[in-house]
Amino acid sequence: MKYFILVFKAALLVLLVLVNIGELDLVPLLANLKSKYREPMNYYIAVLSGIAIFLILLDFIQFTIVWFYRRRHKVRTEDNFIVGIGHIYSIVLVIGLTVGLFSLFRIEIREVLTSLSIIFAGLVLLTKDYVSNMINGMIVTFSGELSIGDNIRIGQHRGKIVDITLQNIHLINDDDDVIYIPNNVALNTEITNYTKREVKRTSIDFEIDLKYLVTVEELERILIEALRPFQDLIKENSYYLRVAEVHRSGVILKFQYILKEPNKELERAIRRKTIRRLVEIISGREKFVDKIPDIPEDFPGHA
């Protein structure tokens, strides 16, 4: 079906080119058309065929570029390059259709820009954030620093990139909430990309009051004990409790470990169990007591 559509588009393109260059005159086919209408009809047919040629050629160019890229890099899903080509396609499409509509109504673009220069200046001011977002979206897409599927942190938000548009970066967090972050904000905010690093270390940040903290080593031991049911899925000796900041009333810590195989669901489960264990300690309901949280019998890796 896909190849049939391509052949149909190619045949239609050839037909439209013949009409546009005058090799195929459609007006004489309308026997009852008066001669005074022939010139306007020829003009509109030429403009409409030109617009159609532009749309088909643009579609062919996009398809060809994406096809060669997928074949060369053996890419099946959409990545940054394919998304970026889609953005360029959309921008060129809007510009081309705008020019085509002006031509259809016999409006000179140069005259429009000259006579409406003040209005366009106002529109530029009103849409500067939108245009800036679009430019930044293209930069993000083709830079390679952020890719669809990367697990990142932007400001206070952490999640997986599910899409990069001309306006926003779409993140889905651990609660399956979709967060839209404007491209301008992303490029002006410190970004942590957890996927790009060579070691896929999972980190859980938390703060604990000094009165609940005996020693860092003791807290680290308790958290490791809490993750004993997952020990076959976590690299041995990869546990590490690091002191990030020290305040008068408490300490900010980072508990880190490395999974043997990347697994988003497993990471969520481990994070959930670890945080629940920490809540028991921080809330003051119990001091450091060796207690391992219950794990469902059917959970993968259950000991």
Q: Please check whether residues 219 and 188 belong to one and the same domain.
A: no
Q: Is residue 91 part of a domain?
A: yes
Q: Is residue 172 part of a domain?
A: yes
- Structural domain total, the chain: 3
Which residues, 6+ apart, have CB-to-CB distance to 47 below 8 Å? 100, 103, 104
**CATH code for the domain in which residue 157 is found:** 2.30.30.60
CB 177 within 8 A of CB 98: no
pLDDT of residue 197: 62
pLDDT of residue 6: 67
pLDDT band at 301 (very low <50, low <70, confident <90, very high): very low
Give the pTM.
Answer: 0.58
What is the percent of the chain where pLDDT is above 90? 3
Q: Is residue 133 part of a domain?
A: no
Q: Please check whether residues 183 and 206 belong to one and the same domain.
A: no
- Of 68, 96, 115, the last residue of a domain is 115
Q: Please check whether residues 77 and 173 belong to one and the same domain.
A: no
- Residue 195: exposed, middle, or buried by beta-carbon count in 10 A (0-12, 13-18, 19+)? middle
Q: Please check whether residues 38 and 81 belong to one and the same domain.
A: yes
**CATH code for the domain in which residue 235 is found:** 3.30.70.100
Q: Please check whether residues 6 and 111 belong to one and the same domain.
A: yes
Q: Please check whether residues 8 and 108 belong to one and the same domain.
A: yes
Number of Cβ atoms within 10 Å of the Cβ of 244: 12
Q: Please check whether residues 160 and 205 belong to one and the same domain.
A: no
Containing domain of residue 251, as a range? Answer: 201-282
Q: Is residue 124 part of a domain?
A: no
Q: Is residue 184's pLDDT more than 80?
A: yes
- Of 193, 211, 227, the last residue of a domain is 193
CA distance 85 to 66: 8
Q: Please check whether residues 187 and 205 belong to one and the same domain.
A: no
Q: Is residue 28 part of a domain?
A: yes
Tokens of 252: 């900010």
DSSP classification of residue 237 = T
Provide the mean pLDDT of the chain: 77
Q: Please check whether residues 15 and 79 belong to one and the same domain.
A: yes
Residue closest to 160 by CA, chosen among 183, 188, 179, 143: 179
pLDDT (average), residues 36-55? 76
Q: Is residue 123 part of a domain?
A: no
Centroid of chain to Cα 245 = 33
Q: Is residue 272 part of a domain?
A: yes
Q: Please check whether residues 87 and 70 belong to one and the same domain.
A: yes
- Of 115, 137, 165, the last residue of a domain is 115
Q: Please check whether residues 110 and 7 belong to one and the same domain.
A: yes
φ/ψ of 270, rounded to 5, equals -65, -45
pLDDT (average), residues 58-76? 87
What is the percent of the chain where pLDDT is above 70? 76
pLDDT band at 295 (very low <50, low <70, confident <90, very high): very low
Number of Cβ atoms within 10 Å of the Cβ of 217: 9
DSSP classification of residue 181 = E
CB 223 within 8 A of CB 274: yes
Which uninterrupted H or E stretch holds 152? strand 151-154
Residue closest to 137 by CA, chosen among 185, 97, 171, 92: 185
φ/ψ of 199, rounded to 5, equals -100, 120
Stronger pLDDT, 293 or 220, i.e. the higher one: 220
Tens digits of residue pLDDT in 154-173: 988 888 899 988 889 999 98
pLDDT of residue 119: 67
pLDDT of residue 170: 93
Q: Is 22 helix (H, G, I), strand (E, B) or coil?
A: coil
Tens digits of residue pLDDT in 21-37: 655 555 555 445 545 55
Q: Please check whether residues 179 and 276 belong to one and the same domain.
A: no
Q: Is residue 300 part of a domain?
A: no
Q: Is 108 helix (H, G, I), strand (E, B) or coil?
A: coil
